[in-house]
Amino acid sequence: MSHNNANDPRQPSAARPFKAPVVSPQDLPVDYSGFIAVVFGVAGVMFRYKLCSWLAIIFSVQSLANMRNMENDLKQISMGMMFAIMGLVTTYFGPPRPASRK
Amino acid sequence: MAKPPRPSASPSHLLYLLSLLSLLIIHLSTTCVLADSHFEGFEADDEDEALDSADSLQFSNLRSPPVSQSESPPATTKLTPSEPDTATADPTQSGTPDHPPTSPDLSKPSSTGFDYWDEDEFEGLPFLEQHQQQPSEPSKAAEDAVGPQDPSPDPKSTPAASPAKRSYMVEIVCGSFLIMFAINYFTGKRENENIALAWAAKFATKESIFEKNFSLLGVGEGEDSPLLLKEGQNVFKFYASGRRYCQGLLATMELKSRHDLISRIYNLIVPCKDEISFEVYMNDDAMDNVIFAVAKKKAAKGMQKELRDLQRFAGLLPPPGGRKWVAEELSVISESKEVAGDMITEAVLDQVFGEKAFEKFGKGFISMHFSDQHPGGHSKMLLFKFTLPDVNNMADMTRLVSLVPYYIDLVGRYKISPQARSKTEAARAKAAQEAHKELQNARQEALQKRKLERKKMMEEAEAKLGAEALRKKEAKERARQMKKSMPRMKMTRGH
């Protein structure tokens, strides 16, 4: 299957430099972890569950680790991260939740 | 690039970290249970009320009550000297020290009928002092939550102290998980880079297969261009161009998400492999009417259902009698038997696809798909998919990689017989007609939609117009109709 030098398959004249294909946001794979981060972040802020906020942080970090396209992915990741941080801030530094009365 | 890559960090340290974390969690959970052991004899109501009372305390503005004087308003009944103090004391207050006070406000004693009471009978004072110290010493509370504790239940401890210990569990678990995630991110990233570099060192450096076959290697322009393009932490691309019969080749390595701890845990349950796929963009004049694929049996069925070109033009071929054929594990999908016979040569069977060769060298083979009707930007393409071996065993896939230049030449030179050509061209013409019909239908649908939208717009506009405007419109229309119905008379001037 190898080629000898007499029959060299290379053609420098036919060489074309690499052009990265333009990927539209619709064709990108779905960022599930980013979506989950936003969901948990919103839940953490609204219901003030610190576990939700922590999970939102974890999933947004995962989304950040798996990010490919800076422009397209960063919106969702930053939103998830913001909600998560807001949730943690309100949980730890905000006024305490009223105790459940019988 | 030619340097041997550094050995990647083994996943044993990850397991070690996980085990440490689990031990910590178990230890904490047991200490929490031990701390709560002295609540066993209580009713649920008492416990809830005690927790409520702990919640209702405002530690920031809490001041210790005077030991000898009640803060309740002065009582109407006065205590005579003859009556002993203990006789009138509230029995709930003078109980065992284990019982928590059930009143919602702990700064006031429950027996509020007297201005003075005995110092010994106020049970809640140490509890309050304990809580007063807590906000000023958060670090101590954290140490208590993490550090080892005495399993013997403290008689003075109260139910409000245990939730403080329990509340740090989430933070400890999530914080340690994030730390492990960060460590794993860097180690996994390095592992993936090592695999990609090992592949490039083996197949894309000097005197390697791709260097002998392509004049331009790498993703940049010029001689010092990088060989690999890192698209993600687990996706690497290699580009080569400047070869006969083809415009270029793009190899995409999709590795396991080793950098992502969650994906790594998921991959322990659902295993996956590192893959490399080659896309060869053939010249339009170099490739004849060829639709052909080889894959493992399960994958072949899936490919034929999913891929449009295989679905339309090709079918699964049974092994032909009287000649050597591919290994039993593989299936061949082709437009015609002639094409399949010409594509599966003796050399290929001896090197990779034969029964004996496939056992040795075909472990990493996934699929191979050639098509002149490929959906997408480039219609004439050769696609190869292989699994990547370990960093130290890259040589195992040498024969698989050498299939790529071999098939570029074979397909580039290949010309089908006139009989087969007439069949394939008829099929392609039919497909083109169908595509044209689909386009026309789509256009007609679009036109109809536009018409409907216009109608709706008109109706909405009419509905908006008032009753007077409608009357005027009707009057105008009547006048117009009257004019039309009137007989036309020519006015002639008589001289």
A66 touching B, CB under 8 A? Answer: yes
Chain A interface, mutation test: which of B102, B176, B241, most A Cβ atoms within 10 Å?
A: B241
Rg from Cα positions in chain A: 24
What's the confidence (pLDDT) of residue B4? 45
A6 touching B, CB under 8 A? Answer: no
CB-based contact A14 B244, cutoff 8 Å: yes
**What is the SS3 assignment for A87?**
helix
pLDDT means per 10 residues, chain B with 495 residues, are 44 56 57 48 50 48 48 46 46 46 47 54 52 50 48 51 61 92 92 93 87 86 76 90 90 92 90 91 86 89 83 83 82 87 88 85 89 81 90 89 93 84 80 81 84 80 73 79 70 61
- Report the candidate in B356, B291, B293 with the shortest Cα–Cα distance to residue B328: B356
A11 touching B, CB under 8 A? Answer: yes
Q: Within its chain, how far is the Cα of B109 from the centroid?
A: 57
Nearest C-alpha of chain B: how many angstroms from A97? 9
DSSP for B301-344 reads HHHHHH-HHHHHH-EEEPPPTTS----TTEEEEES-HHHHHHHS
The residue in chain A having the minimum alpha-carbon distance to the alpha carbon of residue B250 is A18
What's the confidence (pLDDT) of residue B283? 87
Q: What is the mean pLDDT of residues A53-77?
A: 82
Q: What are the chain A neighbours of B185 within 8 Å (beta carbons)?
A: 65
- Could you tell me whether strands B291-296 and B330-334 are parallel, antiparallel, or unpaired per DSSP bridges? antiparallel
Residue A49 binned pLDDT confidence (cut-offs 50, 70, 90): confident
Q: Which of B261-283 are b and which e, b meaning 16 or more Cβ less than 10 Å from the residue's Cβ?
A: bbbbeeeeeeeeebbbebbbbbe
Spell out where B70-125 has E strands.
none
B384 touching A, CB under 8 A? Answer: no
A49 touching B, CB under 8 A? Answer: no
What's the confidence (pLDDT) of residue A59? 92
Q: Which of B63-100 are b and which e, b meaning 16 or more Cβ less than 10 Å from the residue's Cβ?
A: eebeeeebeeeeeeeeeeeeeeeeeebeeebeeeeeeb
Percent of chain A with pLDDT over 90: 21
Q: What is the mean pLDDT of residues A70-79?
A: 73
Q: Is B426 exposed, middle or buried (0-12, 13-18, 19+ CB in 10 A)?
A: exposed
A16 touching B, CB under 8 A? Answer: yes
Q: How many CB atoms lie within 10 A of CB B432?
A: 11
How far apart are the C-alpha atoms of B164 and B220, rounded to whole Å?
A: 58
